[in-house]
Amino acid sequence: MTLTRDATGTGGTAVRVTPRDDVPANRGGLCQKGWTAAELLTVPDRLTTPLMRARRDAPLEPCTWDEALDRVTAEAGRLRALHGPDAVAVFGGGGLTNEKAYQLGRFARIALGTSQIDYNGRFCMSSAAAASGRAFGMDRGLPGPVTDLAASGAVLLAGGNVAETMPPFMRHLTEMRDGGGALIVVDPRRTATARRADLHLQPAPGTDIALANGLLHLVIAEGLADEEYIAARTTGFDAVRTVVNGYWPGRVERITGVPVPLMREAVRLLGRASRAHVLTARGAEQHARGTDMAGSFINLALALGLPGRAGSGYGCLTGQGNGQGGREHGQKADQLPGYRRIDDPAARAHVAEVWGVDPDDLPGPGRSAYELLSALGTEGGPRALLLFGSNPVVSAPRAAAVQDRLDALDLLVVADFVPSETARRADVVLPAAQWAEESGTMTNLEGRVLRRRRAVPPPDGVRTDLEIIAALAGRLGAPGKWSTDPAEVFGELRRASAGGTADYSGITYERIEAEGGVFWPCPAEDHPGTPRPYLDRFPTPDGRARFVPAEHRGADEDVDADYPVYLTTGRVLAQYQSGAQTRRVAALTEAAPEPFAELHPDLAGRLGIEDGARVRVASRRGAVTVRARLTADIRHDTVFIPFHWAGEGRANLLTNPALDPVSRMPEFKVCAVRLEPEVPPAA
């Protein structure tokens, strides 16, 4: 989007949002959230001064920046002296710019010396990232420019509702269909995206591995596997073939509920297309076996010979504003900048040299996001948390337990621009600049690095995250320079990422401006960038992609007599993530004012639930009360609740924190619940 400043005549600035037509991924399109984003700059409860409470049971009161920063550093120093450097933890966000994500990871590791850093992106793309790294040697959302989709002959989208969550992206799929291509959607709900599809497969939640294996079984049986490609460019196919032999169509239909004729039609559409894509999103990834779920769809794509072919491939869709770049430069517990592993001695040596520290002084891997949050305030766990760009009181699984852990801390520090549900529980709140008030870069799902330029200055009393990090680092006596200039920080990021998987060393602000974005890896300023990284070879030791077999095992928590209905969660068009921003925009609140439980009329009839009535939904972890919304667009055995709201409609009070063993992704997308009409109060 382009931000245009209009003088208000009172010394302030109004911002007008207009779409940019020079970014191919959006093609001049914005969703409702983008059109209304400027309203966030002037919300009535905007934070413009630091807040601090004298003790845990005291209210938050305004204070000076010096008072707030002195409190943070004094408490952090005290806790580190008593309990060691891991007593202070850091939690980041996938919406932070590349510069802020990089600087936050650097701050944690050399200013605090802590291994305890992770971020909310762990709840987003971590399973697809792990599966892509395992199969291809690299995690990048799409294998080529998003514009390739328009020329595709078929696209299978598993677990994504882009018509509501990424409306500009939907344009490419619509153009593909207008050109004769077919869209196949895999989703337990008949979403807005599924309604626009040529074929909708509606599996039971948690059965994606069985479905993907069944589709691959049919690909092999019908002679649609690309045997030449498999022999030349992959390894491990025989083991996968052995596994999927056990997923004959009738068995897969019994497991998933997807009729055999629809499965056959799906593989024929994919197998007969000259170009095709297999895409996954959160519905196929936010599971306790999410890495294997995404990996099973990668196996399907590899058997069809798609990855590494121009105009074809496997991709995973980004869920946050900088979901791709935010996980590349050091916010994750196990990573250093450039997508380097923190336990790799060569990676540690390279980054330590850039940072001017001894490699042995860098901490090792820390806890993943949910494990970190659930360890807060416990014996041996962190005693303080510094949080940037996240709202886990609403967004974390088993949210009530996470809230209790935050309350058990000796010190909670939140940098935000509004009093989010998490900020309201903090001991110190630091007012941070918003997206329009600071510059930086972001990396989209194609791996294209883009500029974000400041449109207006922050209000008086507000600081950027880079300024906050620099002030804290200075007070802590951290080594090196801590710049507040995004361009300088990006220059250091380039050096730190050089030679890594996500190599930004050849990308400059000037190139981004001149070229409309640059694709990584880009190892030199005269390198053109890499829009299609797998064309010649995969970045694995032998240059081949890897098939990895996976067996269906079902959800971690299946339905039973006490909790007989599957719950799945997701997003709606007018709201975003934890809702801390979008619930403050009048037009978005009017469009989607409250949470709801979407369920089939047959299920509602059996339970005595009427459309529009309030219904109580309970799991083994908690309960919510929301309005029922009856629709035939969902399976008879499933209820859907969006997760954008706080209070009694907080969907993540219900969700299961069971973790994927590889990605450490919680199982947001399926758990067992029971439903009952809300009992009206006695007269």
Please write the tens of the pLDDT for every residue from 78-91. Answer: 999 999 999 999 99
- Domain locations in the chain? 2-41, 46-123+324-435+469-476, 126-316, 565-677
Residue 245 has pLDDT above 60, yes or no: yes
Give residue 655's pLDDT: 96
Measured CA distances, 671 to 64, 207, 258, 582, 633 (Å): 45, 13, 20, 27, 20
Percentage of the chain with pLDDT > 90?
A: 83
**Average pLDDT score over residue span 331-339:** 95
Give residue 590's pLDDT: 84
Residue 683 has pLDDT above 60, yes or no: no
Residue 682 has pLDDT above 70, yes or no: no
Residue 21 has pLDDT above 70, yes or no: no
Cα–Cα nearest to 667, from 544, 508, 502, 555 = 555
Q: Domain spanning 126-316 has what CATH number?
A: 3.40.228.10
Mean pLDDT, rounded, of the chain = 93
Instruction: Please give the model's pTM, rounded to 2 decimal places.
Output: 0.94
Give residue 640's pLDDT: 96
Give residue 447's pLDDT: 93
For residue range 173-182, list pLDDT tens digits in order.
Answer: 999 999 999 9
**Average pLDDT score over residue span 252-273:** 98
Residue 264 has pLDDT above 80, yes or no: yes
Give residue 10's pLDDT: 31
Task: Give 9's pLDDT tier (boundaries 50, 70, 90).
Answer: very low
CB 364 within 8 A of CB 347: no
Q: Tokens representing 602?
A: 């047959």
Residue 520 has pLDDT above 50, yes or no: yes
Cα–Cα nearest to 302, from 237, 376, 209, 389 = 237
Task: Give 27's pLDDT tier (boundaries 50, 70, 90).
Answer: low
Residue 585 has pLDDT above 90, yes or no: no
**Average pLDDT score over residue span 469-490:** 97
Give residue 394's pLDDT: 93
Q: Domain spanning 565-677 has what CATH number?
A: 2.40.40.20
Same fold? 46-123+324-435+469-476, 126-316? no
Q: Tokens representing 211?
A: 């479905």
Residue 12 has pLDDT above 60, yes or no: no
State the amino acid at position 16 in one-letter form: R
For 111, which DSSP code?
I
For 209, which DSSP code?
H
**Residue whose structure tokens are 């859907």:** 640
* Secondary structure string (H, E, C) spanning 217-248: HHHHHCCCCCHHHHHHHEECHHHHHHHHCCCC
For residue range 640-652, list pLDDT tens digits in order.
Answer: 999 888 988 999 9
Gap between the terminal Cα atoms of the chain: 53
CB 422 within 8 A of CB 60: no
Percentage of the chain with pLDDT > 70?
A: 95
Residues 6+ positions from 613 with CB-CB distance below 8 Å: 627, 628, 677, 678
Domain 46-123+324-435+469-476 has CATH 3.40.50.740: yes
- Report long-range pairs for 608-616 (Cβ below 8 Å, ≥24 apart): 608/677, 609/675, 609/676, 609/677, 610/677, 613/677, 613/678, 614/677, 614/678, 615/675, 615/676, 615/677, 615/678, 616/675, 616/676, 616/677, 616/678
